A = this chain, B = another copy of it.
Amino acid sequence: MSVSLKTIAQELGVSVSTVSRVVNGKDRVDGNTRKRVEAALKAHDYQPNQMARTLRGKSSRTFGVLVSDISNLLFSRLIKGVEQAAMDRGYDVIVVNTDGDPGRVKRGVSLLLAKQVSGIIMASGGFDQQVEKKVREQGIPLVFIDTTPVRAGNFSSVSIDNVLAAEELTKLLIENGHSKIAVLAGPQNESTSIGRLRGFQKALEANGIQIPGHWIVKGEFGVEAGMAAAQTLLSERMRPTAVIAVSNSLAYGAMHALRRHGYQVPADISLASFDVIDDSYLIQPVFTTVNQPVLQYGTEAVRLCLRQRSQTAKAPYEQMVLPHRLIKGETVGPVAEESGCR
């Protein structure tokens, strides 16, 4: 298919080594020879065979990113952040979508290891012991962004301060007079949802607020779960006046359930959320939400991967915490008089 060093070497009557040397530009080569080789290289549009190179032990200069859901704006933005950071340093990136399924995570990681990536950036659930072992064995840097599975061993990570963010969000509700607050807390095996729930609880405690245990609804992250949870909460005798959803899809689901039951947000009930991003700017009301600095995540994740790689001694795992942003939006308001509606 493509021309090899050999072709060019033969054509010029020099050795493969010499051609290789000018390609790599490190070793010294006679000025004149270099000129001739360079010309031939260009004439053939020579591209080194990456397979061969990597086989010889060179870096593939590629990062792999795993995301749980490529069609969730949170993750697609995140990917863009990683891409940009990687590109700035001359690296490529391979994206793998996992649906948060451990089987697909495992397969995705195998793919990336097989492609000998320089680092793995993980923004997906479903990372289990088995996968961890594989990554460790290969000695490939891995950094978690956004969320880290609780059971994972020592790895670098980039995230926001989820506890603090949730505290702020909860305080916002409390300041608006709410004390009957429920939380759609998501799965309790991920740093994000765990931290967010903890922050929620801290804020309640700090304000001496007690809520019924079942107002803390643990479960999945998705839209369905959000709908179901909201539905259940609404069917109780005593209803919350505000709900916090720890993911964007939980928030969407909750919003639907609320609307279907005839509740106005925030007139009848307030809804605070995490990670809602609206590219169309057409969703109304605008969600009150905490946003993560996803573009910056990319930069830091790449940096951490690279550093880990260069370090010879014990891997310098680092938990990097970046500032979040609280978007006030329009879905949080003062407590309704006495929710009269249906």
A residues bordering B, Cβ < 8 Å? 1-2, 45, 47, 49-52, 54-55, 62, 70-73, 76-77, 79-80, 83, 92, 94-97, 107, 110-111, 113-116, 134, 137-139, 252, 255-256, 278-284
Contact = CB atoms under 8 A, between A and B. Distances in A.
A137 B51 contact: no
A266 to B, nearest CB: 15
22 contacts: A1-B137, A2-B138, A45-B134, A47-B110, A47-B114, A49-B114, A50-B115, A51-B54, A51-B116, A52-B55, A62-B111, A70-B76, A71-B80, A72-B279, A80-B97, A92-B107, A92-B111, A95-B96, A95-B97, A252-B282, A280-B283, A284-B284
Contact of A95 (B95, B107, B279): B95
A50 B114 contact: yes
B281 A256 contact: yes
Given A45-B134, A47-B113, A278-B280, 16 more contacts: A1-B137, A50-B115, A51-B54, A51-B55, A51-B116, A55-B55, A62-B111, A70-B95, A71-B73, A71-B76, A94-B94, A95-B95, A252-B280, A252-B281, A280-B283, A282-B284
A33 B116 CA distance: 31
Contacts of A256: 281-282
A223 to B, nearest CB: 8
Contacts of A80: 70-71, 97
Contacts of A284: 282, 284
Contacts of A252: 279-282
B116 A97 contact: no
A135 to B, nearest CB: 11
Contacts of A51: 51-52, 54-55, 116
Nearest to A110: B47
Q: Closest 3 CB pairs between A and B?
A: A71-B76, A95-B95, A50-B114
Nearest to A56: B51
A139 to B, nearest CB: 6
A2 B94 contact: no
Contacts of A111: 62, 92
> Which of A55, A113, A138, A282: most chain B CB closer than 10 A?
A282
A18 to B, nearest CB: 22
Nearest to A71: B76
Contacts of A279: 71-72, 252
